[in-house]
């Protein structure tokens, strides 16, 4: 897709459109790639509100190497409309390669190769110029005026993703993020591009942040990657989900609502697209199996494993939906800083596509906070 030319509007004018501006637009993932030209570089923006957002009211800017002025003199005005709960990916590139090669589709918007993993990224309401003071900072990744090299938020040759869904109003707090640490996308590869491509595919997740319901965590190991046991890939109609089952070609989907806070004890796991009226087991594991790709199991893919804890059995209703009712953190014995993986195993005895008589959802990775 080609970048659209958009007429800049003044901040005062933008603020008059109160019906289409949305304070729930947040930055949810940032990636500094390691392939040719230091690509792919991208930022994910998610609408955590209950209504669509006119993205032309917003601009995305960067401040480089500890500078206090915006790179290029101004932020870039976005385009299009972003549905409630949906995510939008901005690529810092001029065309669709290598982004499309890695992820199988084009990003939503192109800006140009303007960031590295020590730079600050800022989402504004209004078209920001100069030092950005002529627009409203809605959300920021990194500390303005600080070069990120060697800091706890550095993402050089690496990635970071948001742990919750609340914007920070322009004041960065690293505890709101999972930061993989410098060079994480090169780990174990010795400079081999094919290996690093797999790292990008397994560790970074464009368009996957759960923007609805205030949930937390990151989806992984979906059933649309050519790994389902009998070619029963999901058709994408259920969003991030496992392999197709006999009742739903979109597969069984696992999502979250609530927070990742142990003290709040409000995290709920929810399944949808399941075989109606059948039991399912929500479980916790320490590891993402096979590097997050998973292994075939029954009619689905086993994504979570290692020190498995069975959390709760819940029957799907007539629509194929179920959810947990327990304190997930307490049952799982988690501590602040723990990274756990979750999945839903469910019965599919009547119309099992592969004959396994059971299936699994996608996985969810959660970093627990105090």
Q: Is the pLDDT of residue 81 over 50?
A: yes
CATH 2.60.40.1260 in the chain, residue ranges: 11-203
Q: Kindly state the percentage of the chain with pLDDT values over 70.
A: 89
pLDDT in tens, 325-353: 999 999 999 998 899 999 999 999 999 99
| Domain 11-203 sits in CATH 3.40.50.970 | no
Note the pLDDT tens digit of each residue in 161-216.
887 666 778 899 988 888 888 999 998 899 898 999 988 887 888 887 655 444 57
CB atoms within 10 A of CB 104: 10
The CATH classification number of 218-367 equals: 2.60.40
The string of pLDDT tens digits covering residues 140-172 is: 999 999 999 999 999 999 999 887 666 778 899
Q: Mean of the pLDDT values across residues 257-267? A: 83
- Where residue 6 falls among pLDDT bands split at 50, 70, 90? very low
* Burial track 4-37 (b if 16+ CB lie within 10 A, e otherwise): eeeeebebeebeeeeeebbebbbbbbbbbbbbee
Question: Nearest Cα to 117, choosing from 171, 86, 78, 156?
Answer: 156
Burial class of residue 146, CB neighbours in 10 A (0-12, 13-18, 19+): middle
Q: Is 70 helix (H, G, I), strand (E, B) or coil?
A: coil
Reported as a single tens digit per residue, the pLDDT across 279-334 is: 999 999 999 999 999 999 999 999 999 999 999 999 999 889 899 999 999 999 99
- At 202 the three-state DSSP class reads helix
Q: Distance between CA 360 and CA 367 in Å, rounded?
A: 21
pTM of the complete model: 0.57
Average pLDDT score over the chain: 86
| Angle at CA of residue 344, ends 343 and 346, nearest 5° | 155
């Amino acid at each position: 897709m080609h970048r659209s030319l958009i007429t800049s509007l003044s901040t005062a004018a933008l603020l008059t459109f109160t019906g289409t501006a949305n304070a729930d637009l947040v930055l949810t993932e940032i990636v500094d790639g390691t392939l040719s030209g230091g690509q792919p570089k991208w930022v994910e923006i998610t609408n955590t509100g209950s209504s669509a957002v006119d993205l032309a009211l917003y601009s995305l800017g960067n401040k480089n190497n500890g500078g206090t002025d915006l790179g290029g003199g101004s932020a870039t005005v976005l385009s299009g409309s972003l549905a409630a709960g949906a995510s939008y990916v901005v690529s810092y590139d001029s065309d669709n390669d290598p982004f499309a090669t890695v992820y199988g589709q084009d990003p939503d918007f192109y800006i140009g190769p303007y960031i590295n993993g020590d730079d600050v990224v800022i989402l504004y309401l209004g078209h920001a110029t100069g030092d950005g003071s002529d627009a409203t900072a809605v959300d920021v990744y990194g500390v303005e005026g600080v070069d990120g090299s060697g800091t706890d938020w550095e993402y050089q040759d690496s990635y970071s993703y948001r742990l919750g869904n609340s914007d920070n109003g322009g004041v960065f707090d690293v505890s709101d993020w999972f930061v993989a640490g410098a060079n994480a996308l090169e780990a174990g590869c010795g400079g081999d591009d094919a290996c690093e491509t797999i790292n990008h595919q397994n560790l970074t997740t464009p368009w996957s942040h759960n923007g609805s319901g205030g949930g937390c965590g990151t989806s992984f190991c979906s059933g649309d990657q050519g790994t389902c046991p009998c070619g029963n890939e999901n058709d994408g109609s259920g969003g991030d989900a496992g392999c197709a089952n006999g009742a739903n070609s979109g597969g069984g989907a696992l999502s979250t609502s609530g927070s990742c806070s142990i003290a709040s004890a409000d995290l709920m796991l929810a399944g949808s697209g399941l075989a109606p009226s059948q039991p399912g087991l929500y479980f916790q594991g320490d590891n993402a199996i096979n590097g997050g790709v998973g292994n075939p199991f029954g009619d689905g893919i086993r994504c979570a494993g290692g020190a498995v804890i069975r959390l709760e059995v819940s029957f799907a209703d007539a629509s194929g939906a179920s959810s947990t009712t327990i304190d997930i953190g307490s049952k799982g014995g988690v501590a602040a800083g723990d990274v756990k993986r979750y999945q839903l195993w469910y019965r599919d005895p009547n119309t099992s596509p592969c004959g396994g008589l059971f299936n699994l959802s996608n996985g969810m990775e959660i970093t627990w906070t105090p």
